[in-house]
């Protein structure tokens, strides 16, 4: 195993994708942390987009196997990324938030549903449009934070049709850019975890009570 960092990516162009992912994450939380975990030829990057109640997972292949498990500042990681060389310098560790100590399992995922291309994007677009429409229909005096949170909870706690996956996992995937690429998606399960897997990354949520120390009401305005 190689020393931990800078880690060179097997596909250098993926460093720019990682930078875009981190940039979207930081729009929701400028103080966000990221957990980096490598145990062989792949690097997994975990973040928690604020208020969605889910974890986001981005996995990239490494040029050489590495051993690493650390939690860092997402902002410092973004600044350190070398998109020209396709390298990931590892910033100094930070004290990890509570979610970083309880990650989804690495294996033993069983498929629950295979979703054709466009299914998840269409579902995200439909409920985002519904939220906007119902928000605009509220009288000005009724458009309070409490009312918007209640509307968000109603909409994003629903399940993706035909699955048991809460739509907040779909919303997070949309906000983080995981639905940009064409191709099928899948819903998988492992113990209490549910996972939406796309070509660009995954979102994961615990079925029983959400994540420790997290609220489960998502921020319902969509990211671009």
Angle among Cα 78, 187, 102 to the nearest 5 degrees reads 55
pTM: 0.86
What pLDDT, on the 0 to 100 scale, is given for residue 86? 96
Residue 55 is predicted with a pLDDT of: 96
Residues 6+ apart with CB under 8 A from 15: 9, 81, 82, 83, 85, 86, 87, 88
- Angle between helical axes of 167-175 and 119-137 (0-180°, round to 10): 100
- CA 153 – CA 92 distance, rounded (Å): 37
How is residue 168 written in tokens?
């907040």
159, two tokens:
């399940």
Q: Within the chain, which residues score under 70 in pLDDT? A: 1-5, 208-224
In the chain, the largest separation of any two C-alpha atoms, in whole Å, equals 61
Using left for φ > 0, alpha for ψ between -120 and 50, and beta otherwise, residue 5 falls in left
Interstrand relation of 193-197 and 33-47 (parallel, antiparallel or unpaired): unpaired
Token pair recorded at residue 154 = 């109603």
pLDDT tens for 1-46 read 444 569 999 999 999 999 999 999 999 899 999 999 998 999 999 9
The pair phi, psi for residue 205, each rounded to 5°, is: -145, 145
Q: Alpha helices, DSSP H only, in the chain?
A: 14-28, 74-80, 119-137, 145-156, 167-175
């Amino acid at each position: 195993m190689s020393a931990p960092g800078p880690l060179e990516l097997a596909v250098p162009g993926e460093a720019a994708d990682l930078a875009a992912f981190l940039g979207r994450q930081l729009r929701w939380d400028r103080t966000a942390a990221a957990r980096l975990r490598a145990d062989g030829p792949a690097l997994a990057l975990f973040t928690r987009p604020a208020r969605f109640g889910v974890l986001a997972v981005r996995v990239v292949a490494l040029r050489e196997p590495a051993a690493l498990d650390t939690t860092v500042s997402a902002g410092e990681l973004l600044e350190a990324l070398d998109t020209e060389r396709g390298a990931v310098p590892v910033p100094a560790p930070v004290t990890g938030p509570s979610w970083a100590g309880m990650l989804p399992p690495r294996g033993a995922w069983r498929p629950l549903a295979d979703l054709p291309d466009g299914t998840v994007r269409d579902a995200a677009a439909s409920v985002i449009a519904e939220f906007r429409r119902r928000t605009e229909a509220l009288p000005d005096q009724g458009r309070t934070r409490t009312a918007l949170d209640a509307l968000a909870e109603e909409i994003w706690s629903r399940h993706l049709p035909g699955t048991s996956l809460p739509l907040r996992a779909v919303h997070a995937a949309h906000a983080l850019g995981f639905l940009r690429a064409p191709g099928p998606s899948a819903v998988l399960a492992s113990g209490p975890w549910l996972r939406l897997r796309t070509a660009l990354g995954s979102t994961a949520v615990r079925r029983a009570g959400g994540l420790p120390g997290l609220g489960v009401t998502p921020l319902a305005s969509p990211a671009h």
